[in-house]
Amino acid sequence: MHSTFYVRWLKAFRESPEAICKMYNGEDFVFEDPMFDQHNVNTQADLHRTFGPYGNKDPENGIGIHNFKVRSYIGDKSSGLLRWEWSPEHAGSFLGLDVAGKDFLTHGHTFHTFTPEGKISRESSWWDASAILRAVYDVKPTKSITGTKGAVPSQVTPTPIQGTGKEAAQQWATALGSDFSALAGLYNADWFTVDTGKIDDHELDTATDVSTLAEAVGGLSSGENGTYTFTVSDVFEGNGHRLIHWDVTIEGASSFRGIPTEGKTLTGVGATFHEFDADGRILLESTFWEDNRIFVQLGLPIIRPHYWEADFDMDAFIASLGG
């Protein structure tokens, strides 16, 4: 796909639910935005309700005017990753939090697969919720998951990822949580970039060598603030790229993004996109954690109503909030 397609896709968000729904493959598609707890949306009726808020044009109703920008596209006409920026105006609440009069934005990525006719057949969207909380809420989750950094190994042995599917993806996932030296060997020795959430400053937020990779993700395997066990749940293969859905169990951590865990074992999910070189080593990585479910486990007042479901009762939901 070309960036023009995505400019049209994001414009369709603002135009109307009808306009955006036409870009999906009839009744044969799967849409998901796990950050909103939206999983396996697969009918046009539910998709129409899902996109309803984004076409809002009334600045007074609290739903907000939703602004999107394309950051980049990596892929081809069969599948690929769109990286985007979103910022609302005139929103009253978001994720159950009061955001009236507060400016905020976040970054996200969306993986698409396409039919030969150019219709979207699969969508997986993820974005940085912690960045939003840092902007609008009293609790300020840190960018770092663990608050620790991994040790930089004296030597790294290049180890291309072999094969395809879950087994190949698990090679990366296992190393991420248990062996930083092995993890570092999976990346191109001369050139790679790793992003893990909203980018405020590439100098600080983008890893481009083993040292900065250790700062970004090395704490996940260091054991200094808990153990992280990553298990691949699904894989979407493309031409030279792959999207990985993963589960994570966090045990023995004193904090998550700087928020005390109070001894809780936490569970979460996330998505990581990889682009590979000709030898199977990682050139580019883009990762987003589904922080909202972990924030709920930690007692934060995140609310994600299932407004896209046919039997959702908006009046009862508002009443439950005391509205």
Rounded to an integer, what distance in angstroms lies between the CA atom of residue 278 and that of residue 191? 13
Angle, CA 297 vertex, CA 291 and CA 299 arms, to 5°: 105
Rounded to an integer, what distance in angstroms lies between the CA atom of residue 84 and that of residue 3? 11
Answer for the pair 183, 172: CB distance below 8 angstroms, yes or no: yes
Once rounded to an integer, what is the mean pLDDT over residues 115-143? 97
Per-residue pLDDT band at 33 (split at 50, 70, 90) = very high
Q: What is the pLDDT of residue 163?
A: 86
State pLDDT tens for residues 57-75: 899 888 889 999 999 999 9
Q: What is the pLDDT of residue 14?
A: 87
Residue 319 has a CB neighbour count (10 Å cut-off) of 10
pLDDT at 43 over 70: yes
pLDDT at 16 over 90: yes
Residue ranges and CATH numbers for the domains of the chain are 3-127 (3.10.450.50), 165-297 (3.10.450.50)
Q: In what order do the strands lie in the sheet with 206-207?
A: 206-207, 193-195, 282-289, 266-276, 241-251, 227-237
Closest CA to 133 of 289, 249, 316, 306: 289
Quick one: which H or E segment has residue 49? helix 44-51
DSSP lists the bridge partners of residue 122 as 30, 113
Closest CA to 147 of 301, 291, 255: 255
Residue 287 has a CB neighbour count (10 Å cut-off) of 20
pLDDT at 167 over 90: yes
The set of long-range contacts for 96-104, using a CB threshold of 8 Å and a minimum separation of 24, is 96/301, 96/302, 96/303, 96/304, 96/321, 97/133, 97/136, 97/137, 97/301, 97/302, 98/136, 99/136, 100/62, 102/135, 102/136, 103/135, 104/131, 104/132, 104/135, 104/136
Rounded to an integer, what distance in angstroms lies between the CA atom of residue 141 and that of residue 144? 8
State pLDDT tens for residues 306-315: 999 999 887 7
Q: What is the pLDDT of residue 320?
A: 66
The mean pLDDT value of the chain amounts to 94
Answer for the pair 247, 289: CB distance below 8 angstroms, yes or no: no
Rounded to an integer, what distance in angstroms lies between the CA atom of residue 245 and that of residue 166? 10
Residue 119 has a CB neighbour count (10 Å cut-off) of 14
Once rounded to an integer, what is the mean pLDDT over residues 117-146? 97
